[in-house]
Amino acid sequence: MGPTIRDVARLAGVSKSTVSRVLNGDPNVAEETRNAVIAAIKEIRYTPNALARGLNTRKTGTIGLIISDITNPFHAEVARGVEDLASDFDSNVILCNTDGRPKKEAAYIDLLVEKRVDGIIFTSVKTDESDMTNLRSRRIPFVFAGRTLPDVEADSVVVDNILGGFQATNHLLRLGHQRIAYLAGPSHVSASMDRYEGYCQALRRAGIEPDPQLVIEGDFKQEGGYRAMSALLDRSLGITAVFAANDYMAMGALEAIYERGLRVPEDIAVVGFDDIPFARLHLVQLTTVAQPKYDIGAIAARMLFERIDGKAQDEPSRRVVLPPRLVIRRTCGEYLGQRDFAEPNRPSRAAEPPVGTT
């Protein structure tokens, strides 16, 4: 059944407590005893049982990551940030793909609670408030990464979507565009609405009143971007530029544009949002607003561990807002021409402390 602490104790001629002490690095153990124990551990190839330990300590060294789909490059990058940081804190992460389905999400939350995870990071949030209060009452800390639930008071780290929308639109305006379309995401997603808000702000600042005709709703997917762009083009609205709420839709838009024999950026300029890996491909060169995806995950994890370790035990919840960054490539003109390969924008060490805390 695998050796237990008892077997080690017996072999080393000490008590279980002593073994436990050396296991946990308790300084109050004679050097000699310690060595004997260590030798015994090695001899019988003992590996501590984290279940038994967790039962006592109420810490499992495991956190849950609730995500809509790990196959989505944006989420994968966030997940990587989370996992790296968890690893730094000697924790593991349990991956939960929900596909944005509330039921799956609720089921996963239950499972994670059963497993007594130390905390949970939400990337996708469809859950109603009741699950959250459940976590609250069990004192399981959680933080939102990338998205927030407006009604729920909790730690979160997000990119400044309004600013990002502003940057994208403003870039287009500076290039002389006036008729700029917005390919929105689903209207209930705050990120899309915030980017739209930034879009409007930039427009108004330039003395242009946002035209509802130029806004069309997509689904954050390539297909949706394609359809939305096609619809827009069919209506001959005199559009010369388009700001897509994310890169996938921008890709679909590009396709719709090319399909009609139009050129990018000469006939229509395109900006996306996210900077997913393929945006930088030589053949694509999508101008886009980059989100610090990895950092979002890493910082969220760091905040979570601060709660877990009790440092930030009962402090009010924090909201970290990260700055977006406009990446100018080819699809709006102003192509800078340098080759840029997928630079893993991961810090070799853990992420820096939160920036822009409010």
Partner DNA sequence: ATGAAAGCGCTAACAG
Partner DNA sequence: CTGTTAGCGCTTTCAT
What is the contact surface with a second copy in residues (CB under 8 A)?
1-2, 45, 47-52, 54-55, 58, 60-62, 65, 69-71, 73, 76-77, 79-80, 83-84, 87, 92-97, 110-116, 134, 137-138, 221-223, 226, 251-252, 254-255, 258, 277-278, 281-284, 339, 341-342, 344
User: Collapsing DSSP states into helix, strand and coil, what is residue 158?
Assistant: strand
When the beta carbons of 54 and 210 are compared against a second copy, the nearer one is: 54
Of 46, 42, 50, which Cα lies nearest the Cα of 5? 46
- The secondary structure of 220-262 as a DSSP string is SSHHHHHHHHHHHHHTT----EEEESSHHHHHHHHHHHHHTT-
When the beta carbons of 66 and 203 are compared against a second copy, the nearer one is: 66
Min separation Cβ 281 and a second copy, Å = 6
Of 50, 73, 135, 78, which Cα lies nearest the Cα of 301? 78
Min separation Cβ 2 and a second copy, Å = 6
Q: Are 40 and 12 in contact (CB under 8 A)?
A: yes
Min separation Cβ 319 and a second copy, Å = 26
Buried/exposed code over 252-274 (b: 16+ C-beta within 10 A; e: otherwise): bbbbbbeeeeeebbeebbbbbbb
Residue 24 touching DNA (CB under 7 A):
yes
Min separation Cβ 21 and DNA, Å = 6
d(CA 214, CA 235): 10
Q: Which of a second copy, DNA, none interacts with 313 (beta carbon under 5 to 8 A by kind)?
A: none
DSSP strands (E only) in the chain:
62-67, 92-97, 119-122, 142-145, 155-159, 180-184, 215-217, 241-244, 269-274, 287-290, 319-322, 325-327
When the beta carbons of 95 and 231 are compared against a second copy, the nearer one is: 95
Min separation Cβ 31 and DNA, Å = 7
Residue 29 touching DNA (CB under 7 A):
yes
When the beta carbons of 41 and 96 are compared against DNA, the nearer one is: 41
Binding site for DNA (CB under 7 A): 1-2, 4-6, 13-18, 20-21, 23-24, 27-30, 32-34, 46, 48-49, 52-53, 55-57
